[in-house]
Amino acid sequence: MTTILTFGSFYASFAREHKSLRYFANPSYYLYSAGKYIGKSFQSESKEFAAIALDAKIPETDLDRELVVLVVGETARTDHFSLNGYARKTNPLLEQERVASFRNTWACGTTTAVSVPCMFSIYDRSDYSKEKASQTENILDVLQRAGVSVLWLDNNSDSKGVALRVPYASYRTPDRNPVCDTECRDEGMLANLQSHIDQRPNEDLLIVLHQMGNHGPAYFKRYPPGFEKFTPVCRSNQLEQCSRKEIDNTYDNAILYTDSFLSKLIGLLKQNGDKFEAALFYISDHGESLGENNLYLHGLPYMLAPDTQKQVPMIFWFNDNFAEDGVTVKSLLPKLDDKFSHDNIFHTLPGLFEVETTLYDQSKDLIHDSKGG
């Protein structure tokens, strides 16, 4: 991390694109690796995997079916969403929908490897560790035990261990993803969703879509050519070769593509509105530095990281059927500037599915007030 602070964008971008070289640069790395391997082996032998929320259930009085699509965004910044007041129209399609866009939401970490497992974990950021998360069930396990059909589709690296015990499919290659050009697009994850829904006529459904989103430093690769609205753009992995304006333009074009992706998801949910209480829940894993104070990308220690790496966009959309339970976008509007975080996800998802468990904390459910809780 000192490399990013001291030498700026060149080394930050180079290290991100060529991660393996950092190991060759450190002659003592083999000692670190050996110690890490021994430590992991000892932990796996000394700790049992912990099942949680064994009492989780959907009450028999809940006769409605829920369809929730949770989109885990990648490297998106709150302040680059026009929904949140950004001057550029980066969300032209979402602005036409009835969505609740929260403006004061904070990530568990500054990297995907930390934030993704943390956001699904029972542990709050203050109590979270990779070791504890890997030895404990997460909220997907809880929902699946309660009877919710869970599916994880991934157009990023992987689920970081979250989806090990639920159905999973990678959409990184053309053999499964039908929307690929220079790389496979997030939109390709939508191709088989309707078929998945139709094949489960009696189940509540949670579908998690893990985006490629705004993964840097090659922001110019993150969107199809038709989304290059803001120009000129940075067509390099080496951010030091580009101006701040070019970097912002390219990053914003990728946000524009996410806007289209989420809009198409809402369209799919609307098509299923006669059968479900349907909801879209979008939240990014972490933010990004785009050159402010000569900082680029993300991954700084949490205490040192600027807010741009820690503050993330969070968006909800509900169909009218949810209103029968008192859950509406209008009911969330007074809370858009309240402070929330990834810690709220573990308790919000059971709230959406009306799953009962003693581990559920209503005070951490983002929507519980709208249900009169």
For the domain that residue 295 is a member of, what is the CATH number? 3.40.720.10
Enumerate residue ranges in the chain where pLDDT < 50.
Answer: 1-7, 11, 18, 20-29, 32, 41, 44, 370-373
Helix (H, G, I), strand (E, B) or coil at 242: coil
Q: Is residue 27 part of a domain?
A: no
Tens-place pLDDT, residues 134-156 = 999 999 999 999 999 999 999 99
Looking at residue 4, its pLDDT comes to 44
Looking at residue 47, its pLDDT comes to 75
Q: Is residue 103 part of a domain?
A: yes
Q: Is residue 297 part of a domain?
A: yes
Instruction: Give the domain extent around 366.
Output: 52-371
Q: Is residue 17 part of a domain?
A: no
Q: Is residue 7 part of a domain?
A: no
Dist CA 351 CA 170 (whole Å): 28
Q: Is residue 39 part of a domain?
A: no
Dist CA 288 CA 52 (whole Å): 33
Helix (H, G, I), strand (E, B) or coil at 168: strand
Alpha-carbon distances, residue 41 vs 44, 138, 160 (angstroms): 5, 22, 19
Helix (H, G, I), strand (E, B) or coil at 5: helix
Q: Is residue 352 part of a domain?
A: yes
Whole-structure pTM value: 0.90
When divided into structural domains, the chain yields a total of 1
Dist CA 32 CA 35 (whole Å): 5
| CA-based R_g, the chain, Å | 21
Tens-place pLDDT, residues 274-305 = 999 999 999 999 999 999 999 999 999 999 99
Looking at residue 329, its pLDDT comes to 95
Q: Is residue 25 part of a domain?
A: no
Dist CA 119 CA 315 (whole Å): 15
Looking at residue 326, its pLDDT comes to 84
Residue 232 and residue 245 in contact, taking contact as beta carbons nearer than 8 Å: yes
Q: What are the beta bridge partners of residue 314?
A: 102, 283
CB atoms closer than 10 angstroms to residue 132: 15
